Structure 1
Amino acid sequence: MFSKPDTAPAAPQPARAPNPNAGKSVLASDLRITGEITSTGSVEVFGDIEGNLTARSLMIGGEGAVKGTVSSETVEVKGKLDGRVSTQSFTLRATAQVEADVTYTSLVIESGAQIEGRFNRPKG
């Protein structure tokens, strides 16, 4: 009728693998976020973000702005980016305005993009 509760510690949860079916998050132009954003999918920024942003892919729209640290497999910038970036593929469109220290594997810069900072491609 009565039983002693199990006092064994809970097994640690396995790390979550990235979800290949994760959706797209769109941060609208009237949105301003200060803090940390994390997604296993893609993020499109049309508003103002200040803080850390981690996602599988990131696109900063023409009216979008990100200030902070970005970590993403692919980054495409049409708007403003200020901070640090770690990515595999970094694409700056003609309307991009970037002040950042960037670590990348692949880099595309369209004519007209404004850039200032350090670009580092790891050897390997």
Structure 2
Amino acid sequence: MVFRKESRTDSFQRQISTLRQQLGSDEDEVDDAEELPTYSAPAEAAARSPLPSIESQRRHQPPRMSDASTGVVSANSSWSGSLRSEGSIQIFGTIEGELSASDEIYVAEGATVDARIRARTIIVAGAVTGTIECLGRLEVMPSGSISGDVTSPTLIVHEGATVEGDVKMQSPTPVE
């Protein structure tokens, strides 16, 4: 008994030949034994092409505005003072002062915030300087940077992000 490893092309050619024999067709009648296109296995193709990075696979999109309780500071806009929301806040511009939201604060890529921030969920893709008090989950995206003191029960820092300052992890507290 002889064992041999055959390629998928050889296996395909052998199956076609067997099928022709079973159907009773002659090679002379049907001349479609042209050169078949070469087939490369997925593993071989993957070895030749570079793998996409995690960042190219997943670009963070800002949270969708689901209702009228989402406040937005648009790009090329600035706010100085105290901003409070019973819903969410999305920042695409510049903020100085104090931010507080019952639900979520999203700091977009290119946005700058110099403030005391408090919310249940905080996502940072831009630059934040100041004190952050997160009551649930704080996520720093690859383009995000935080410089200041951070308190959060859950902290996610993506590759490429920077966090500079004191970080305290403690159990979640209810939003007041």
Give me the TM-score of the superposition, normalised by structure 1.
Answer: 0.79
Structure 1's unaligned 5+ residue stretches are 1-20
1:117 matched residue in structure 2: 165
Percent identical residues: 25
- Tell me the matched-pair count: 104
Contact kept in structure 1, 2:73 and 2:79, CA below 8 Å: no
Once the 2 structures are TM-superposed, how far is the Cα of residue 89 of structure 1 from its aligned partner?
A: 0.8
1:31 matched residue in structure 2: 77
1:75 corresponds to which of 122, 141, 144: 122
Aligned-pair Cα RMSD in Å: 1.4
- Larger relative helix fraction: 2
Once the 2 structures are TM-superposed, how far is the Cα of residue 63 of structure 1 from its aligned partner?
A: 1.2
Is 1:63 aligned to residue 93 of structure 2?
A: no
Once the 2 structures are TM-superposed, how far is the Cα of residue 114 of structure 1 from its aligned partner?
A: 1.5
Give me the TM-score of the superposition, normalised by structure 2.
Answer: 0.56
- Larger relative strand fraction: 1
Match runs of 1:29-108 below 5 Å: 29-55=75-101, 56-87=103-134, 88-108=136-156
Q: Distance in 2 between matches of 1:61 and 1:82?
A: 14
Contact kept in structure 2, 1:22 and 1:40, CA below 8 Å: no
Larger RCO, structures 1/2 (Cα 8 Å, 6+ apart): 1
What SS class does the counterpart of residue 62 from structure 1 fall into?
coil
Q: Distance in 2 between matches of 1:39 and 1:89?
A: 18
Structure 2's unaligned 5+ residue stretches are 1-66
CA separation of 1:120 and 1:30: change in aligned 2, threshold 3 A: same
Once the 2 structures are TM-superposed, how far is the Cα of residue 23 of structure 1 from its aligned partner?
A: 1.7
What amino acid is the match of 1:117? G
Runs of 4+ in 1 over 4 A off after TM superposition: none
Larger radius of gyration: 2
What amino acid is the match of 2:104? S
